């Protein structure tokens, strides 16, 4: 192979790698999401705590109680961070590809990025989203086509109007920013719902379930009341068997920094972010440069 052909081959390989990089990053995010889902599901359904039903001093009331509550696995905050980093990076890689990758000048390449813009400026004025995007995209998407830039604009949080800070891309950007620069996202143990396990319960008539909602700190408290149940045996002559499930879940607690996900189950919140990120990349594929011909 001549030197010229070798250089051309390497250039083609480099361009192909640019076009594939966002898929690799998104795939990595998917792997971390699957680990997160497995970890939180195992904690919630297998070894995170046990549920017991105790008679209340005032029958026919019963107290559903969680006991032997364990803290979430110490790897959870790192998995959340790894997921967020790779999901956010997949969008940055898309922006780099939309900008033409190696065709940019060094300065343009340095400033390349995927803008995620809300609707309120630093002075607290709303309705600023479109102008802020145009200003930011001027350098982050400097060499992207006008069609590609318009497509990225359609995905922006400010397009949601007054609900811009509920958009998945905004949530991803804020969670990833906090994880990179401030602190890890530790999972909180929270009780939101208690359900009768119908596969194991027999001879029971449930009149009422009063869930005791709230956050629990397993580091300082390894048991907590989950619900007060009013129930009766369907046949008074036979023994009543009562079992419950879905007592506790690992949720996000950002201390109000990203309120839309505070109290949400970790896996559920991350799955929503992943789904929107995947859809965004799919919507932008048509604007990516064609792979170089060999």
Domain map (residue ranges) of the chain: 22-287
3-state helix, strand, coil in the chain (%, to 5): 50, 20, 30
User: Which stretch of DSSP H or E encloses residue 249?
Assistant: strand 249-252
Q: Helices (DSSP H) in 184-265: which residue ranges?
A: none
CA atoms within 13 A on the CB side of 153: 18
Whole-number Å distance between alpha carbons of 49 and 222: 9
Q: 21 pairs with which residues across the strands? A: none
- Residue-level pLDDT at 223: 94
- Residue-level pLDDT at 1: 47
DSSP state of 246: -
Q: Are strands 249-252 and 187-191 parallel, antiparallel or unpaired?
A: antiparallel
Q: Confirm if 220 and 188 have CB atoms less than 8 A apart.
A: no
Q: Confirm if 53 and 141 have CB atoms less than 8 A apart.
A: no
Residue 206, helix vs strand vs coil: strand
Please say if the pLDDT value at position 152 is more than 50. Answer: yes
How big is the chain by its Cα radius of gyration, in Å? 25
Whole-number Å distance between alpha carbons of 187 and 247: 16
Average pLDDT taken over every residue of the chain? 90
Residue 44, helix vs strand vs coil: helix
Confidence bin at 13 (pLDDT 50/70/90): very low
Q: 205 pairs with which residues across the strands? A: 232
DSSP state of 126: B
- Residue-level pLDDT at 43: 95
- Residue-level pLDDT at 294: 53
Whole-number Å distance between alpha carbons of 91 and 154: 14
Please say if the pLDDT value at position 187 is more than 90. Answer: no
Please say if the pLDDT value at position 19 is more than 70. Answer: no
Mean pLDDT of 179-194: 92
Which among 178, 195, 155 has a CA at the least distance from the CA of 252?
Answer: 178
Please say if the pLDDT value at position 17 is more than 90. Answer: no
């Amino acid at each position: 192979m001549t030197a010229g052909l070798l250089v051309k081959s390497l250039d083609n390989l480099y361009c192909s790698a640019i076009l594939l990089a966002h898929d690799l990053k998104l795939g990595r995010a998917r792997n971390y999401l699957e680990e997160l889902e497995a970890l939180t599901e195992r904690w919630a359904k297998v070894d995170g705590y046990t549920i017991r039903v105790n008679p209340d001093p005032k029958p026919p009331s019963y107290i559903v109680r969680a006991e032997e509550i364990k803290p979430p696995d110490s790897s959870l905050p790192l998995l959340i961070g790894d997921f967020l980093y790779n999901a956010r990076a997949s969008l940055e890689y898309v922006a780099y590809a939309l900008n033409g990758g190696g065709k940019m000048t060094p300065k343009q390449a340095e400033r390349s990025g995927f803008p995620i813009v809300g609707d309120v400026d630093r002075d607290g004025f709303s309705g600023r989203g479109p102008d802020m995007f145009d200003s930011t995209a001027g350098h982050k998407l400097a060499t992207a086509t006008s069609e590609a830039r318009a497509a990225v604009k359609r995905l922006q949080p400010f397009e949601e109007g007054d609900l811009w800070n509920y958009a998945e891309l905004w949530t991803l950007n804020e969670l990833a920013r906090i994880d990179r620069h401030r602190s890890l996202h530790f999972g909180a143990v929270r009780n939101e719902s208690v359900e009768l396990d119908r596969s194991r319960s027999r001879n029971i008539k449930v009149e009422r379930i009063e869930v005791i909602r709230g956050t629990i700190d397993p580091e300082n408290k390894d048991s907590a009341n989950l619900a007060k149940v009013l129930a009766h045996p369907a046949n008074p002559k036979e023994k009543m068997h009562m079992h419950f499930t879905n007592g506790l879940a690992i949720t996000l607690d950002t201390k109000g920094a990203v309120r839309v996900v505070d109290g949400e189950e970790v896996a559920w919140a991350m799955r929503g972010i992943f789904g929107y990120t995947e859809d965004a990349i799919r919507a932008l594929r048509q604007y990516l440069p064609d792979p170089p011909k060999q």
